[in-house]
Chains A and B, each alone.
Chain A
């Protein structure tokens, strides 16, 4: 895997939140999911910037929904994780598990 293809921590969080949400996820619902699961209050700008970067890498895709009154007549951009996104997540997890394997880190610093 080339250097630019590794997933950053927040990219993994966003992809996992996307996987957890089944009903056409969009910026606000992804942000809320991240906050409810991790307790981390992320900025909507950071979420959108990350999603756009993931889309450029071909890991997610997006489409524009219909405008709604509750959003001041503004449309949602819905996101969907692609097979490449799932593969990248799996790869990231495998890499971390390999690094963790056999470490006595936890016993040494317990």
Chain B
């Protein structure tokens, strides 16, 4: 019996690599025992509760200090995504209308290219933060600059209304997705 995907992914994203296997195994073992004795719904609830309550401990884990960059990047990118969504919310109808009214090839290629760019750089960031390079800060700065410059250039090249350009910031969730997907895939 497999625990629910989301809390599993959450644990995979924040647990230190060296101890992920033992932590996930402990959770899985107890989940199976609870599912057999109490039923799956209660076991799912217990797993969710354990995953959420484990976050502070796992984030403070000293073995994950070399991963602090990855955690900080994930938090910053998620916060950025929420901000972008808030910004978009005000003029979302107008933005969508602008996109649909665009002539010629339309704006979709720019959006698609922007999301691919963000997902790629998100995964790259996650990869770099997981290594313990001495030149980490410099390399990460270059990657950040590269990712955002490409996104901004795409925004400038596209014949976009200002609000639609803000909508391009929707690529930030794609960057989050790239980073989180990388974490999850690496833990499987």
A residues at B contact (CB < 8 Å) = 26-28, 31-32, 43-50, 52-53, 56, 64, 67-68, 70-72, 74-77
Give the CA-CA distance A68 to B24 in the complex, in Å.
Answer: 12
* Total contacts A-B at CB 8 Å: 85
| Chain A: minimal CB distance from B37 (Å) | 13
B53 interface hit (Cβ, 8 Å):
yes
Q: Are A46 and B57 in contact (CB under 8 A)?
A: yes
Chain B residues lying within 8 Å of A71, measured Cβ to Cβ, are 25-26, 28-29
Given contacts A31-B26, A48-B61, A52-B62, contact A74 B21 (CB under 8 A): yes
B58 interface hit (Cβ, 8 Å):
yes
Closest residue on chain A to residue B23 by CB atoms: A48
18 CB < 8 A contacts A-B: A27-B23, A28-B26, A28-B27, A31-B26, A43-B50, A43-B57, A45-B11, A45-B23, A45-B54, A45-B57, A46-B56, A48-B22, A48-B58, A49-B58, A52-B61, A72-B28, A74-B25, A75-B21
Q: How many residues of B contact A (CB 8 A)?
A: 27
Q: Are B19 and A52 in contact (CB under 8 A)?
A: yes
Of B16, B29, B55, B56, which is in contact with the most chain A CB atoms at under 10 Å from its CB? B29
Partner of A28, one of B15, B19, B29, B56: B29
Mostly helix, strand, loop or mixed at chain A's interface?
helix
| Chain A: minimal CB distance from B187 (Å) | 11
| Chain B: minimal CB distance from A43 (Å) | 4
Give the CA-CA distance A74 to B19 in the complex, in Å.
Answer: 11
Q: A27-B23, A77-B19 are in contact. List 17 more A-B contacts (CB 8 A).
A: A27-B26, A31-B26, A44-B30, A45-B53, A45-B57, A46-B54, A48-B22, A48-B26, A48-B57, A49-B58, A53-B62, A56-B62, A70-B28, A71-B25, A71-B29, A72-B28, A77-B22
Given contacts A52-B19, A70-B29, contact A43 B24 (CB under 8 A): no
Give the CA-CA distance A32 to B29 in the complex, in Å.
Answer: 12
Mostly helix, strand, loop or mixed at chain B's interface?
helix
**Considering the complex, which residues of chain B in the window 1-36 have a beta carbon less than 8 Å from any beta carbon of chain A?**
2, 11, 15-16, 19, 21-30, 32
List the 6 shortest-distance A-B pairs measured between CB atoms, nearest first. A45-B54, A74-B25, A77-B22, A45-B57, A43-B53, A71-B25
| Chain A: minimal CB distance from B56 (Å) | 7
